[in-house]
Structures are given as structure tokens and as C-alpha cells.
Amino acid sequence: MIRAAFIGVATVALICPQLLADQVALKNGDRLTGTIVDSDGKTLTMKSAFAGEVKIQWDAIQEITSDQPVYVSAKGGEVLVGKVTTTDGKFSIQTASSGAVTVSKEVVQSVRSKEQQASYDAEIERLRHPRLLDSWGGVVDTGLAIARGNTETFTYNLSAKAARTTAKDKVSVYALSLYSRNSAAGTAVTTASLVNGGTRYDFNVSEKYFAFGQLDLLHDRFQELDLRVAPAGGMGIHAIKTASTILDLNAGGGLNKEFFTSGLSRASGEALLGEAYSHKFSKVTTLNQSLQFFPNLTNTGEFRSLFSLGIVTQLTKVLSWQVSFANLYLSNPPVGVKTTDVIMTTGLRFTFGKSL
């Protein structure tokens, strides 16, 4: 009697988990039992007590039976919640409000457990209303050259860019530092000393048009420029926006306040014409180029421009090799100072957060 009762309890213990679990039947006749985690319409993830998480090709599935309510998303955007059974290749979802609703397997975009759906909804809400510290990504570029012997040289460049991009707007900050020193016969001479930085805000007025505001700061010792403060703003258009190519055109106006080593200071109004271009040649190589042209509205005929060009080749997930070129032009520098500064750097790039 006791032995029979023990066998009965053991049998129920073995059978009940199978009865209460989700089941997936494959086209080859195999059947898997466990808990449905989620599906993206290409694969289905199922958690088994003995095999852990198992990924199953969506096309290989013949039938699905869920013991607990799941969230089924169709291509039309409708989300159905309920226990699922499969008949003749169609999903029957037993909903609380509409009863049994039948959809074909082909229109199912996703299947999620209650926990996975809650995580998905929270992520969507976060993308729609991101916090200030969300969605940031950036890069740090660095290069170093040292020579010792009859002539000693030291050249170092460091730049960083960071951006927070959402569906509505983009916040960017950037900084660049370049320093170079040569030494011969015991005499050291600084040959380059430049610091540049700023920030920019872009707001998408529509899918095609955007408004922007920016602030650029520059110190260039050998242009005898102690500080330039240049706020600007305007409107732009996403002329090209594909997976591999982006071209933005923008126009606007701003102010330019300059303080020179000689004691000269001047202020002027400026127009702004600009473009920014990016193209992915492959999964690992990207070209970035930008040009900003500032005609002087106070002293007509004078102008300045900023041109940059860079190629980045990804080596690992966080490490890349970069080559960059920049041209800073000022048509009316102080007497004895050249109009053009050319900067070319190369070195390692470190990536953090989301890709720019």
C-alpha cells in the first residue's frame, strides 16, 4: 500500500511539470518542454530545466502550446495576451477580452513572456523619454610621437567626442588638444599649442528638417589667438539618410568674439553655411567629413572656415585606428600671422557606449 502510494506520488511529480510547462513541437517530430522566454520572429528562446536556454529556428517550429499567458505581437502592431495553442499552422490566443483570436504564424513578429514584455515596455518608454545620462556614446583619439638623439621631438594629440542621440534630438560635446615641442643643442622650442572644444544641440523638427545651436571655443598660440568664442544657430536638412550614408546641410548665423595675444579684441556677426557627411565603406571602415564656412557680416569680404576629414578602421569592438586632417582658415589674422593652420593626426581610437 505504502509502495503503491509512493509510486503514485513519484509519477505525479514527474508528469505535472510536463503538464504545466510550455511545449514546442518541431517539424521533424521533436518536442521541447520548458518556459517560453521570447521570440523575434526568427528564433524562439525557450528555457528548459535540464538544458538551460535553447534557441530554436522559427521556421522549424510546427506547434506552440503555452501554459502561461504570453504576449504575441503581430505585424499590424496589435499585441494579443493569452495562452497559445497552434492548429493547422495558426496561433490561437485565448485573450481575456476577445476570447480566442487566431493569427497566422507568418504575421507574428514577436512572442514574449510577461517578464520579457515588461522589460521591453520599460526600454521603449526609456527611448521615448530618455533621461539626461541615457544613450551616450563617444570616442577618445590619441597619438604620440617621441624622438631622442641629436634632435629631441615630442608631439602629442588628444581629442574626444561624445554624443547623446535620441529620436528627437542630439547633444554633442567635443574637445581637441595638440602640443608639439622640438629641442636641439639644449634649446627647446614649442612648435604647436592648440586647444579646441565646444558643444552642439540638434532638434528634429520633422523627419527631414532640424534646428541646431552650437558653441565653439578655440585657443591657438601660434595664431596669437588667446580665445575665440563663437555661438551660432540655424536650420538644417537631412539630405541623405541611409544605413551607409548620411549628408546633412545647414545654414544660420552667429557671433564671433576674438581675443588676441597682442591685446587686440574684436567682435563680428557671421553667417553660417555648413555640411556634414559620413559614409561606411564596409563594416569596419568609415569616412567622416565636415565643412563650416563663416562669411563675416560686420566686415564684409572677410571670412573663416573649419574643414575636417577623417577615416576610421575598426580593429576590435572598442579599439580602432584613425587618421584625421583639419584645416582652420582665418582670412584676417593679426599682422605677421599666417591665415591657415593645418592639423594631421593619426593614432588609436577608443570607443565607449553607443556608436556615434
pLDDT at 30 (0 to 100): 86
The DSSP code sequence of 153-172 is: EEEEEEEEEEEEE-SSEEEE
Residue appearing with cell numbers 506547434: 63
Q: What are phi and psi of 336, to 5 degrees?
A: 90, 0
Give the type of residue at 39.
Answer: S
C-alpha span between 89 and 74 (Å, rounded) = 15
Q: Is the pLDDT of residue 210 over 90?
A: yes
Pairing of strands 31-39, 43-48: antiparallel
> Residue 185 has what DSSP assignment?
T
pLDDT in tens, 245-290: 999 999 999 999 999 998 999 999 999 999 999 999 999 999 999 9
Higher pLDDT: 21 or 302? It is 302
pLDDT at 42 (0 to 100): 85
C-alpha span between 155 and 182 (Å, rounded) = 9
Task: Select from 269, 322, 329 the least CA-distant residue to 139.
Answer: 322
C-alpha span between 94 and 70 (Å, rounded) = 10
Cβ neighbours of 294 (radius 10 Å): 26
Q: What are phi and psi of 129, to 5 degrees?
A: -130, 70
pLDDT at 299 (0 to 100): 93
* Helices (H) then strands (E): counts for the chain: 2, 22
Cβ neighbours of 221 (radius 10 Å): 15
Q: How confident is the model at residue 5 (pLDDT cuts 50, 70, 90)?
A: very low
C-alpha span between 334 and 223 (Å, rounded) = 8
pLDDT at 20 (0 to 100): 53
Average pLDDT over residues 103-120: 86
Q: Is the pLDDT of residue 308 over 90?
A: yes
pLDDT at 54 (0 to 100): 87
Q: How confident is the model at residue 185 (pLDDT cuts 50, 70, 90)?
A: low
| CA 273 from centroid of its chain's CA atoms | 26
C-alpha span between 154 and 53 (Å, rounded) = 55
Burial of 178 (0-12, 13-18, 19+ CB in 10 A): buried
Taking the CA atoms of 43, 122, 117 and 20 in sequence, report the sign of the dihedral they define.
positive
pLDDT at 12 (0 to 100): 40
Average pLDDT over residues 59-66: 86
Lowest mean pLDDT segment, chosen from 11-20, 84-93, 95-104, 213-222: 11-20
pLDDT at 21 (0 to 100): 80
Q: How confident is the model at residue 8 (pLDDT cuts 50, 70, 90)?
A: very low
**What does pLDDT average to over the chain?**
87
pLDDT in tens, 117-169: 888 888 777 777 777 777 899 999 998 878 777 667 888 899 999 999 888 89
pTM: 0.69
pLDDT at 100 (0 to 100): 85
pLDDT in tens, 67-102: 888 898 888 778 889 888 887 778 888 888 888 888
- Asked if 143 and 75 count as a contact pair (C-beta separation under 8 A), the reply is no
Taking the CA atoms of 75, 80, 86 and 91 in sequence, report the sign of the dihedral they define.
negative
What are the structural domains of the chain?
2-128 (no CATH), 136-353 (2.40.160.40)
